[in-house]
Structure 1
Amino acid sequence: MPILLFISLFTLLDFVLLFTIGGQIGLLTTLLLVLGTGFIGLYLIRKEGVSTFARARQRMQMGEIPSQELLTGAALIFGGALLLAPGFLSDALGIACLIPNARQLLMKALTWAGLKTATAKQHTYQSGSSGWEQNTQRDYSNTQNGPIEGEFISGDDTPRRR
């Protein structure tokens, strides 16, 4: 619910800002600015997207997971969507998602705000008198990249013929 409230307030503030500035500088100038930021955004998305894809492919060829490149790609998509929306506030945030140094500052700000930390709980199942019972006890929000342990039991133990 808080994210829906934030999106609603952001959209309302964006339109109020658009109409306020548009009333001061005129309709034609406002339209040119909104369209201009859209074209600049398309150029930056293409430029940054191609380089991000090349880095991701290079890391995959080296056998690494391109996690940073995936976050960059998500920021590019988010920035592009913001640039498609009419408004100066959404355009400013969209361009910030497309410029590499500004994007890194945004990611640091999100990390600082605590939006990056997700709480993951261990799910274990124990056999009890009433069947399988779920037990969620441990919090893994501060763990490093350690091993993941688990068991797998196939539900179908009948041999198959070919």
Structure 2
Amino acid sequence: MSHPRTMPPPRRRRWPLLLLVLFVAMPVLELYVLIQVGQVIGAWWTILLLILAGVLGSWLIKREGARAWAALRTTLAAGRMPAREIADGALVLLGGTLMLSPGFVSDAFGILLILPVTRPFFRRLLTSVVARRLVVVGPLGPGGPGAGPGNDGRPGPDVVRGDVVDEP
């Protein structure tokens, strides 16, 4: 007896909210923080602090990027899967991009992504996000064995059961 296949509810689209935060809320927050810091320490000190943050970011990117690259090469040479090293490289790249953009809020996030002490937390976060989005593709297609049209382990209507005979 065949059961009607029920479709899961559609995922809510998160892109519009993410884009709103990235392109509207973040610049407004950055400007607000810049103005507040400028009022407390002065405009020239604020500019100097932004330049110093960029220099520090460049140095951190160079140092941690070289470490991530060396770890990736070592792992590949040992014949192991470089999942941790790839995640570290992606975090250093993202953190570096944030550090090079002007603003104290993005600099703070960038430093957190680059520093070796805080990177494991973000690596776990990145790994969980990527793992949720992955689709397992096995030898029998997406979902692996038993991933037929009804996902109940039975093959679909296009599957013909038979035996393979290899004659010499």
Q: TM-score, normalised by structure 2?
A: 0.66
Whether the aligned pair in 1 keeps the contact of 2:58 and 2:100 (CA below 8 Å) is no
- Among candidates 35, 41, 48, match of residue 25 of structure 1: 41
Shift of 1:82: 0.6
- 2:30 is the counterpart of 1:14: yes
List per-residue Cα deviations over 1:20-40 (Å, max 9, x = no partner). Answer: 211221111101111111111
Q: Give the whole-Å Cα distance in 2 for the aligned partners of 1:20 and 1:40.
A: 22
Whether the aligned pair in 2 keeps the contact of 1:121 and 1:137 (CA below 8 Å) is no
The equivalences for 1:28-107 within 5 A come to: 28-107=44-123
Q: Give the whole-Å Cα distance in 2 for the aligned partners of 1:137 and 1:25.
A: 65
Shift of 1:6: 2.2
Segments of 5+ residues of structure 2 without an aligned counterpart are 1-15, 143-147, 152-168
Q: Give the whole-Å Cα distance in 2 for the aligned partners of 1:32 and 1:137.
A: 63
Q: Give the whole-Å Cα distance in 1 for the aligned partners of 2:58 and 2:64.
A: 10
Query: Which amino acid is the alignment partner of residue 115 of structure 1?
Result: V
Query: Which amino acid is the alignment partner of residue 38 of structure 2?
Result: G
User: Aligned-residue CA RMSD in angstroms?
Assistant: 2.4
Query: Which amino acid is the alignment partner of residue 21 of structure 1?
Result: V
Shift of 1:121: 7.2
Give the structure with the larger strand fraction.
1
Shift of 1:11: 2.4
Shift of 1:2: 1.9
Q: Give the whole-Å Cα distance in 2 for the aligned partners of 1:121 and 1:97.
A: 28
Whether the aligned pair in 2 keeps the contact of 1:22 and 1:30 (CA below 8 Å) is yes
Shift of 1:119: 5.4
Shift of 1:60: 0.6
Segments of 5+ residues of structure 1 without an aligned counterpart are 125-134, 139-162
Query: Which amino acid is the alignment partner of residue 61 of structure 1?
Result: A
List per-residue Cα deviations over 1:89-120 (Å, max 9, x = no partner). Answer: 11111111110111222334x369x6342253
- 2:113 is the counterpart of 1:115: no
Tell me how many residue pairs correspond in the alignment.
126
Query: Which amino acid is the alignment partner of residue 35 of structure 1?
Result: I
Q: Give the whole-Å Cα distance in 2 for the aligned partners of 1:11 and 1:33.
A: 18
Q: Give the whole-Å Cα distance in 1 for the aligned partners of 2:129 and 2:21.
A: 14
Q: Tell me the secondary structure at the aligned position of residue 81 of structure 2.
A: coil
Q: Tell me the secondary structure at the aligned position of residue 50 of structure 1.
A: helix
Q: Give the whole-Å Cα distance in 2 for the aligned partners of 1:136 and 1:34.
A: 56
**Identity across matched positions, percent:** 30
